[in-house]
């Protein structure tokens, strides 16, 4: 009787651990996507963002020419600071994600580990392709140049 209960407990415990690691991986991937999109919206992948911010402020606040010029300088300075910040945190962000993946891999079979590696590569490729397409479709002059 005890052995049957132990087998059931191990089975349910294993399923629960698998479920939790799946949830964790999903949360991690979602967090990564949201974080990348937020950073991307204020980065060189979207060079028109400062211009659109200035345009919206100009339209909503009815800025004078002098105000528009000063606001544009402020938005551009902030844009450059955010780019620098993103570049500074990138190594720490990558290290934290890699540590998390290493811990997850300890819970996975060798086949699942390979699938996780492939998933991570696909995500990296997707981000790289997205950055390249955003850079190539920049037909407007960047406000902050």
The token duo for 67 is 């105000």
pLDDT at residue number 115? 92
Question: 97 with 32: CB under 8 angstroms?
Answer: yes
* Segments making up each domain of the chain, as ranges: 23-132
Mean per-residue pLDDT of the chain? 82
The three-class DSSP label of residue 64 is coil
Count the neighbouring beta carbons within 10 Å of the beta carbon of residue 36. Answer: 19
For the segment 65-82, the average pLDDT, to the nearest whole number, is 92
- CA torsion, points 95, 117, 130, 135, in degrees to nearest 10? 60
What was the pLDDT predicted at 133? 55
- pLDDT tens digits, residue range 99-142? 999 999 999 999 999 999 998 888 888 777 765 555 554 444 55
Cα angle 128-133-134, degrees, rounded to a multiple of 5: 100
Q: What pLDDT score was predicted for residue 36?
A: 72
């Amino acid at each position: 009787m005890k052995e049957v209960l132990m087998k059931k407990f191990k089975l349910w415990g294993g399923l629960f651990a698998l479920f939790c690691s799946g949830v964790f991986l999903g949360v991690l991937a979602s967090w990564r996507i949201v974080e990348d999109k937020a950073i991307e919206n204020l980065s060189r992948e979207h060079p028109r963002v400062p211009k659109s911010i200035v345009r919206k402020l100009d339209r909503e606040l009815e800025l004078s020419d002098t105000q528009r010029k000063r606001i544009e300088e402020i938005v551009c300075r902030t844009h450059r600071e955010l780019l620098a910040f993103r570049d500074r945190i990138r190594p720490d962000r990558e290290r934290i994600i890699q540590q998390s993946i290493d811990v997850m891999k300890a819970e996975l079979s060798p086949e699942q580990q390979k699938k996780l590696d492939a998933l991570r590569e696909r995500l990296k490729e997707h981000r790289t392709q997205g950055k390249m397409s955003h850079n190539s479709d920049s037909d407007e002059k960047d406000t902050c140049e």
